[in-house]
Structure 1
Amino acid sequence: MKLQTILFTASILLIVSCSKTPTRENIDFEEWGKYWFQGKAEISSFDLIQYRYGEERQGEAVLIFVTEDFSRKKQVKLDNPQDAGNDKIAVLKMNQTRDFVTGIYPYHIMLSAFTPTKERSQGLKFSSSVQEWCGQSFSQINLSGTDSYSGNLNSYFESEGDASISVTGLAEDDLWNLIRISPSEIPLGGVSVFPSLIYQRFSHQELAAEEAFIRIQDISNDRKQLELTYSSGIRVLKIDFEKDFPYQIMAWEETHTRSDGSKEVTQAKRKAVKVLDYWKRNKVEDEFLRDELKLKN
């Protein structure tokens, strides 16, 4: 009986140790936390050139990065993290907004990405919304396996309607957070990747992964560039970021090659950055902060 007990206990310990999610390595989380766990968000504003309907549109983009306590089960922000126990997981959240005008009517776009900070896992959740005068759409996918996602698309288009989504691979939208956590966490070389939820909405194509090539190279003394090239040759994403922690994002470029060979190049260049608890800055007297961020809208 004693031997059986020992073997049973050992098997339980083995299961627990094997099921434990590995942690990210080669990151000084003490220093990392001094920037990201100070109870504030990093907000960056960008001048935006967004291609839509075959033409350049002048606009504005904002990147908001902030850490949050997340629910593993529900994959939402915890209301009472102190009571969540093992359900609590720390994530880095990116909210990306884009605003521009097409002719008479405006576009308002928001993308959200939630990536574990210390646990080595792909992003847990991605969502996007697009509002314009014709209507609105909303997409959300949640991690349902090691690298598989499932979710839903809600759209005002009849052909899309309310549809289920399933896809396997690395999310392009995860790369932004991985840069900020540590560029060393980004897989290089040939990788199965599915495109941004924003691109999926603009292209109206089924969300599907394809082979892509990822590389990171120096582009100046103080900047690096992530380059993601899809094997189809239709899409290339480049994200410029600072070489040193906290790896602030300075610019990005998306190139879409049309069927006739012409290229549409969307670009964003940073104009201002601030670190603050913006959720507390909601009074009229706080509007000067928008001027400091050089926000036009």
Structure 2
Amino acid sequence: MNRPIPLKGVSIIALFVFCQCNIDDVGQNHSSFAKMEVPGDFAEYWFNGEAELSSYNLDIVRYGEKRKGTAVHIFVTEDFSREKQVKLDRPKETPEDRVSVMKFNQIYRFETGIYDYSMMNSVFTPIEIKEYPHSLKMTCTVQDWCGQSFSQLNLQDQHYRYQQFSYFESEGDRDLNVRPEMLEDELWTRLRIDPMSIKEGEVLLFPGDFFQTLNHEKPEPRAARIQFDASEATGECIVEYLHLDRTIRIRFQSSFPHRILSWSIEKGSKEVVSATLRETIKSPYWQQNDNKFSYMRDSLKLN
């Protein structure tokens, strides 16, 4: 299979030089940014004090019927605490503890009859993948009118700690250790950092948390096969689970910055999720929460 065009200059040691956002007033800032000395376009695009925001048309099957909704992707780099696994408020004060991560928030919103769903998944993947081969943290929340659930995965020594809290008895409250295999949900961040960091072939993969929560699946790695299909303009990452009726296809730009163009998920021969790009903008959105910035939702085609 053809592989996507490699991203030059990412797999080097990061040097953290300064934080671009004012962090004295923590309550006024959502994110902070470390400056990395990396060649090429990577630093200019990802360390310029803005996040990348994208909206998508979403089709998702729930309760046996196809629903229309909206998906939003937020990609942004942040200073992260290696020890506490939270965003550092004052990274200059603890340089030995900070690691630069790509944060990815994926949001689904759709209606099921009279009520609606709101789902959000967050992944924190170190930019320097060779030094930190595993994502440090993942969280997932799912809310509908019946109840809500929350799960969190934290990298600890030689395992992930998985915690889940749910309204539903079948899920209950869980606290268990999971083998530190690659996360399905970190495929998105790896595609943005360096698609070549995703190896083709058979792997153990921790299935996506949206899937596990909605289907009440046991949280454990599963055997999967990863392959790429690429052209000059676009690439496609294809994940087929060997013992689950689940196939994921993520289409992205072959060239940097490898924007996510669309994705689909199949259960057997039936497509259960599909999303196509509406619009992408760059924005320091955490500074734009006044009413006067509401027009930007039109820019992102969210209204």
> Which TM-score band applies after superposition, normalised by the shorter structure?
0.7 to 0.9
Structure 1 segments, 4+ long, off by >2 Å, are 23-31, 262-265
Residue type matched to 2:278 in 1?
K
Q: Give the alignment partner of residue 242 of structure 2, picking from 228, 231, 241.
A: 231
How big is each residue's C-alpha offset from its partner over 1:75-134, in whole Å with a ceiling of 9 and x where there is no partner? 000010001121000000000000000111000000000000024221110110001101
Q: How do 1:1-297 and structure 2 match up within 5 A? A: 24=11, 29-31=38-40, 32-120=42-130, 121-145=133-157, 148-168=159-179, 169-218=181-230, 220-257=231-268, 263-296=270-303
C-alpha distance in 1, partners of 2:208/2:129? 23
C-alpha distance in 2, partners of 1:264/1:145? 38
Residue type matched to 1:280 in 2?
Q
- Offset of 1:143 from its aligned partner? 1.1
TM-score, normalisation: structure 2: 0.85
Residue type matched to 2:274 in 1?
Q
The equivalent residue for 1:3 is none
How big is each residue's C-alpha offset from its partner over 1:15-41, in whole Å with a ceiling of 9 and x where there is no partner? xxxxxxxx9369993221110000100
SS of structure 1 residue aligned to 2:57? strand
More helix by share: 1
C-alpha distance in 2, partners of 1:119/1:239? 20
How big is each residue's C-alpha offset from its partner over 1:134-179, in whole Å with a ceiling of 9 and x where there is no partner? 1111000011235x31121000012322111332211000100000
How big is each residue's C-alpha offset from its partner over 1:272-296, in whole Å with a ceiling of 9 and x where there is no partner? 0000100111111111110011103
Sort the Cα spacing of 1:127 and 1:209 in 2 relative to 1 into closer, same or farther, 3 A.
same
C-alpha distance in 1, partners of 2:204/2:66? 30
How big is each residue's C-alpha offset from its partner over 1:232-262, in whole Å with a ceiling of 9 and x where there is no partner? 14111110000100100000001123xxxx6
The equivalent residue for 2:21 is none
Greater C-alpha Rg? 1
C-alpha distance in 2, partners of 1:64/1:194? 22
Q: Sequence identity of aligned pairs in percent?
A: 41
TM-score, normalisation: structure 1: 0.87
Residue type matched to 1:224 in 2?
G
Greater relative contact order (Cα < 8 A, sep 6+): 2
Residue type matched to 2:252 in 1?
F
Residue type matched to 2:93 in 1?
D
- Give structure 1 stretches of 5+ with no counterpart: 1-22
CA RMSD of aligned residues (A): 1.7
The equivalent residue for 2:29 is none
CA contact (8 A) 2:264 2:271 kept: no
The count of corresponding residues between Structure 1 and Structure 2 is: 268
